[in-house]
Amino acid sequence: MFSHLSRFKITLTLILLNSIVYLISVGVSHSLIEIDTQTLVDMGALFGPYTVLYEQWWRLFSAMFLHGGMTHLLMNMVSLYLVGRGVESYFSSKAYLLLYLFSGLFGGIASLYMHPVGVGVGASGAIFGIFGAMAGFFVAHHHQIQAHTKAFMKDFAVILGINLVLGFSIASIDVSAHVGGLIVGSLGGFFLAKYPKLLWLYGVVMLLLLLLSSLWLSSFYATLS
């Protein structure tokens, strides 16, 4: 058991952090099953007017650890456990964390664009990002690990399909964050699978794109007001 914990420490740490933040939100909202919107906003949820117009960009990060209810949390944490272990096995610790982080941040950017006055929370963008990173890895190395690639892509398609169906069926789930995280994670995973020593370049490019995205969002929101 302890060897399992040490082997997948990043995945389990992320699950622990999300769970702790949820327990805090439970204490603030006095509800175990469903967290009210005002509590989520007060704790750092994505909300366009605050995030963009008031330049509270830190909400892109804080929203990744907030969840709207117990079902939302459990669905995300099970998904994170399933795919996170694979990412932790195939990528370095730093690459895993950056892929998770940037996928979540750009998923938030997508959410802010699609839902300017909506409230967004959840690790879904980041989790879809590491799903995408695994796909990118297998595509990059499909000649060397063909058998594993086929098995993974089949499982990946099933899990992705289920999550997208849930996303379109449940109004509170933001599909735009899923898609944004998936695209960013897929491209990042492919690049880092091909050029693992260029992690620094990946980080620099992502930061620059994040800055440009925030400037573009500010201009976009200015046209709405």
Task: Read off the pLDDT of residues 173-205 as tens digits, 9 standing for 90 and up.
Answer: 678 898 999 999 999 999 999 999 999 999 999
The Cα–Cα gap between 127 and 167 comes to 14
Catalytic residue among 25, 111, 124, 186: 124
Structure confidence by residue, pLDDT tens digits, 121-158: 999 999 999 999 998 998 888 776 666 666 666 666 76
pLDDT at 72: 87
| pLDDT score at 151 | 66
- Structural domain containing residue 47: 2-224
Q: Among 4-18, 64-78, 141-155, which is the least confidently predicted range?
A: 141-155
Q: Is the pLDDT of residue 24 over 90?
A: yes
- Measured at the CA of 214, the angle between CA 46 and CA 203, to 5 degrees, comes to 100
pLDDT of residue 162: 66
Candidates 72, 111, 176, 178; catalytic one: 178
Does the pTM surpass 0.85? The reply is: yes
Range 48-75 burial, b when 16+ CB lie within 10 A, else e: bebbbbeeebebbebbbbbbbbeebbeb
pLDDT > 70? residue 48: yes
What pLDDT was estimated at residue 171?
Answer: 54
Look up 178 and say whether it is catalytic: yes
In the chain, how many domains are there?
1
CB atoms within 10 A of CB 112: 27
Give the mean pLDDT of the chain.
89
Q: How far apart are the first and last CA of the chain?
A: 54
**The pLDDT of residue 160 is above 80:** no
Q: Rounded to an integer, what distance in angstroms lies between the CA atom of residue 52 and that of residue 32?
A: 30
The rounded distance, in Å, linking the Cα atoms of 55 and 214 is 9
Instruction: Assess whether pLDDT exceeds 70 at residue 163.
Output: no
Share of the chain above pLDDT 70, in %: 84
Per-residue confidence (pLDDT) for residue 225, from 0 to 100? 66
Note the pLDDT of residue 84. 92
Domain with 68 in it: what CATH number? 1.20.1540.10
